[in-house]
Structure 1
Amino acid sequence: MASTVTLLIAPLPADAPADDVDATFHEVDASEPALRVGELSTQRGDGIFETLAVVDGHAQEAQAHLVRLRNSAAICELPEPNLEQWHAAIRRATSALPSTGEFALKLVLSRGVEHGPAPTAWLHASPAADFTVPREQGIRVVTLDRGLAHDAAARAPWLLLGAKTLSYAPNMAALREAKRRGADDTIFVSSDGFVMEGPTSSVILRIDGVYSTPAPSGAILHGTTQQSLFEHLEHAGERTEYRDIPVAELALADAVWLVSSVRLAAGVTALDGASVTFDEATTRRFNDYLLSPRD
């Protein structure tokens, strides 16, 4: 079995029948050139993406990721993706991977070559990094001002804040700044004092037994892993809520987590240099669930 899989995809219209969908995939060697020089995803970050985990041969939350891909396409005025085609591509890639282990599967839809006739799309699957330490021992986090009010998306929709775009340079810069400050990750806060999200994760905190996450809005990417975990908590009889969370509540929380599709749940052990209670047992339960097959 291959440890990496790369498929170039000829995007079908959203309403096209997917009878011979395999004919729209072209597997390429990931070490070989595959994109053209004029590709706008590399020149301008003009595209969208999703990253989902493959755990022991199972693509986790594929439908939720594809629905979010479709939502990002609508926000960015890209052609609506054909979800059946993307499901087939995910199945094709997953079947080519080993049946054990963790992999990261990235889906990309770009506007294509400038003045070109069609968008560009591809899928790439590769082994996931080893996240044993952050899952079991937690992470140190700093808060960084995102430079936007928490309602910025409503006032400036052209910022595309609710879409998962390829323009990730500020997010990566925030992670580098966290490293410079002796931390592992970042929680973005709004300029008017509210918790937002991590550069590649959603924020969950627990206060008095209630699990809270920032209210979904155009300024916050609604996390697929966070939604799945909340459904699991609710099924277990726990209380969850979406609301605007003032930054000061981070220091008052019983526990804080950053959750994402591939790293899964990482408990926060320090916030801006101050110790935070790390709930090892709950974090372990979170990850046991998140590593189980999830559709």
Structure 2
Amino acid sequence: MVLGDGDVVVFLEAGRAAVSRARETQAPAHGEPVPLTEAAVNVADLALTRGDGVFESIAVIDGRFIALDEHLDRLAHSAALLDLPEPDTAAFEAAARAGVAAHPAARSSAPDTELLVKLLYSRGIEGADTPTGWVQVLTGPDHSRAREHGIAVVTLDRGYRHDVARTSPWLLQGAKTLSYAVNKAALREAERRDADDVIFVSSDGIVLEGPTSSVIVRHGELFRTPRSDLGILAGTTQAAVFRTLAGLGFETADAVLTEAELGTADAIWLCSSGRLVAPVRRLDGEAVPVDAELTSTLLRGAFGV
């Protein structure tokens, strides 16, 4: 992502207490937006030194937040998995809206303006016992080519069994943490294999998710996505797509999908807050059918794109 000139950051007074203190003091529940190039985080913050925190990324299209409530709920869920204090989601929402309002793109007349809002919630400065939170409002990259023409994907072994969330909850599978080094390493491996993205599979051959996306697989009239109890994130974008598919009369299901079933799919999509819906055109070097018309219908129906 190339940072835009108008990108901004809004720092919360505290990740948890901003709104409650504001009600007592009549102070604003969030700080003033500052240019991203001028924003600073304490170098002792555990978000920086240990990746000890969680985050969410939310698409904003023509001023509309996509699945804002679902992202706020998922932020709280991730925080609970890390034993972080419960985040003040109302404060995060207020800061996000203030940041979007301050971004130049929000005042643009272009109907296809897309922003990416990131909510970041950290355990805070080591020893202070006070969480920190901030919101970034970034200029969204152009994903039109990926949405229209599709992406090349490789499967990679995640190194865990599909039931790891149940057997080893301390590994934090299913939490959207700031520790993204592994996900970024997987994307670099995809690039080395002449691909755009990754679908993780478990060590026992079960389809999981992408580093930054959810997976949808089609067989005939049935559309399935991996179950969230497999130690993966519940997909907010995927859920919006499933609602649209159901409205079109298709059958949808959360399921346990094998790697073999992935290879026989009639179509595959990766869903994320950035790209929204991107069809897979190549999987491990093999061509996958791309239904451009249905993809376009899903983008319009679920997100108004």
The equivalent of 1:45 in structure 2 is 51
SS of 1:257 mapped into structure 2: strand
Which of 3, 6, 11 is residue 3 of structure 1 equivalent to? 6
The equivalent of 1:252 in structure 2 is 264
CA displacement, residues 102-158 of structure 1 (integer Å, 9 cap, x when unaligned): 011100000111101411110011111111110000000000000000100111101
Give, in angstroms, the shift of residue 172 of structure 1: 0.5
Distance 1:15 1:163 in 2: 24
CA displacement, residues 144-190 of structure 1 (integer Å, 9 cap, x when unaligned): 00000010011110111111000110000000000100111000000
Aligned pairs for 1:89-168 within 5 A:
89-97=95-103, 98-99=105-106, 100=110, 101-168=113-180
8 Å CA contact retained: 1:13, 1:79: no
* TM-score (normalizing by structure 2): 0.91
Question: How many pairs were matched up?
Answer: 292
Which of 276, 286, 292 is residue 264 of structure 1 equivalent to? 276
The residue type paired with residue 284 of structure 1 is S
Distance 1:35 1:218 in 2: 34
The equivalent of 2:33 in structure 1 is 27
Residues 248 and 87 of structure 1: is their aligned pair in 2 closer, same or farther, counting only changes over 3 Å?
same
Question: Are 2:204 and 1:201 equivalent residues in the alignment?
Answer: no
Question: Are 2:76 and 1:64 equivalent residues in the alignment?
Answer: no
8 Å CA contact retained: 1:14, 1:80: no
Distance 1:171 1:57 in 2: 29
Which of 30, 47, 55 is residue 61 of structure 2 equivalent to? 55
Question: Are 2:253 and 1:241 equivalent residues in the alignment?
Answer: yes
SS of 1:150 mapped into structure 2: coil
Distance 1:92 1:218 in 2: 36
Residues 37 and 15 of structure 1: is their aligned pair in 2 closer, same or farther, counting only changes over 3 Å?
closer
CA displacement, residues 34-53 of structure 1 (integer Å, 9 cap, x when unaligned): 11121111111100000001
Distance 1:218 1:190 in 2: 9
The equivalent of 2:200 in structure 1 is 188
Distance 2:301 2:134 in 1: 29
Distance 2:100 2:129 in 1: 30
The residue type paired with residue 54 of structure 1 is V
Give, in angstroms, the shift of residue 236 of structure 1: 2.5
The residue type paired with residue 3 of structure 1 is G
Give, in angstroms, the shift of residue 3 of structure 1: 2.7
8 Å CA contact retained: 2:184, 2:211: yes
Distance 2:75 2:51 in 1: 15
Distance 2:174 2:22 in 1: 29
Unaligned runs of 5+ in 2: none
Which of 16, 38, 42 is residue 20 of structure 2 equivalent to? 16
Distance 2:16 2:161 in 1: 38
**CA RMSD of superposed structures (Å):** 1.7
Structure with more of its chain in helix, by fraction = 2
Question: Are 2:74 and 1:74 equivalent residues in the alignment?
Answer: no
The residue type paired with residue 141 of structure 1 is V
8 Å CA contact retained: 1:103, 1:125: yes
Give, in angstroms, the shift of residue 33 of structure 1: 4.8
Give, in angstroms, the shift of residue 285 of structure 1: 1.2
* TM-score (normalizing by structure 1): 0.94
The residue type paired with residue 9 of structure 1 is L
SS of 1:196 mapped into structure 2: coil
Distance 1:167 1:92 in 2: 27
CA displacement, residues 239-295 of structure 1 (integer Å, 9 cap, x when unaligned): 1001100100112111000010111111011110011111111111122234329xx
SS of 2:301 mapped into structure 1: helix
